[in-house]
Structure 1
Amino acid sequence: MTFLLRVIINAVALWLTTLIVAGVSVRSYSPDDTFATVLTYLLVALVFGIVNGVIGNFIRIVAFPLYILTLGLISFIVNGLLLLLVAWISSLAGFGLFVNGFWWGVLGALVLGIISWLISILLRPLMKDRR
């Protein structure tokens, strides 16, 4: 249940990120259908969670000395690259996340992380009850 709540939080954060950051957008497989748009955001959030959980953690472990040398600033670059990877994976299906460039990816990842963090803080009592 916590995983499902995390996917929903990421989907809402992704939706708000696409409203704030001009270079990040999500294209639905059926733009006129609201259900298809919501499903697209949920699918992209699921892919983002899997990529961030598997590949992101591997990169953070391998690049730990680089994180120390840069005082954590490399995390902006890594998160931007992970967002670009999610955009590439979702574009293989012909719909999903589209990022206009590397720096839009970095900015989008930063905004997505902040919004996701804020939503998680607001829903923390609900998440503690579920564990």
Structure 2
Amino acid sequence: MIKTLLRFLFSALGLLVASAVVPGIRHGAFVDLLAVAVILGLLNASVGALLRFVALVPMVCSFGCFSLVINGLVFWLAGTLSSRLGLAFSVSGFWAGFFGALVASVVASILGGIFIPKERERPQGPPPPIKIIN
């Protein structure tokens, strides 16, 4: 639960940095950015997954680079949907969405790598035998 909240917080911080760096992205209050982070997460889980499935062949042929285009489209859609919902966040076009998604994901990934501890990896192979004590 805490990790999920931290991921949304880091995504909102990534949106804040993207709006400062990328022309064509505008934002309002930080609460709006948190709401946009939730919308972006929902769109990535639904529309983004569908687009990745539909564009499987171009993604394989481009060694996954086509996923940057899909991320840009979903980011642009999130900006459009957010502004229609009355949130103070807007993305002016595809290229702003493309670079905004790139910047926001890099910032969120770096923050997540620093502040969210990784779980210990489980050893590979069969589980150890259970000892029965008589």
TM-score, normalising length: structure 2: 0.80
User: Which residue of structure 2 aligns with residue 22 of structure 1?
Assistant: 23
Which structure has the highest helix share of the two?
1
Alpha carbons 1:81, 1:106 under 8 Å: kept = yes
User: Which residue of structure 2 aligns with residue 31 of structure 1?
Assistant: none
User: Which residue of structure 2 aligns with residue 5 of structure 1?
Assistant: 6
User: Which residue of structure 2 aligns with residue 78 of structure 1?
Assistant: 70
User: Which residue of structure 1 aligns with residue 81 of structure 2?
Assistant: 89
Unaligned runs of 5+ in 1: 28-36
Which of 55, 64, 77 is matched with 1:63 structurally? 55
Structure 1 residues 104, 20: CA separation in 2 closer, same or farther (over 3 Å shift)?
A: same
Q: Kindly state the Cα deviation for residue 128 of structure 1 after the two structures are TM-superposed.
A: 4.4
Alpha carbons 2:10, 2:107 under 8 Å: kept = no
Q: Kindly state the Cα deviation for residue 16 of structure 1 after the two structures are TM-superposed.
A: 1.3
Summarize deviations over 1:80-127 as a string: whole Å, max 9, x none. 1001110111111232321122111111111111111111111132x6
How well do the aligned residues superpose, as a CA RMSD in angstroms?
1.7
Unaligned runs of 5+ in 2: 121-134
Moved over 6 A (4+): none
Which of 35, 40, 48 is matched with 1:48 structurally? 40
Summarize deviations over 1:36-91 as a string: whole Å, max 9, x none. x1211111111011111221122222322210112222112111100111011111
Alpha carbons 2:25, 2:92 under 8 Å: kept = yes
User: Which residue of structure 1 aligns with residue 92 of structure 2?
Assistant: 100
Question: Number of residues paired by the alignment?
Answer: 119
Determine helix, strand or coil for the equivalent of 2:90.
strand
Alpha carbons 1:24, 1:97 under 8 Å: kept = yes
Alpha carbons 1:87, 1:96 under 8 Å: kept = no
The percent identity for this pair of structures is 30
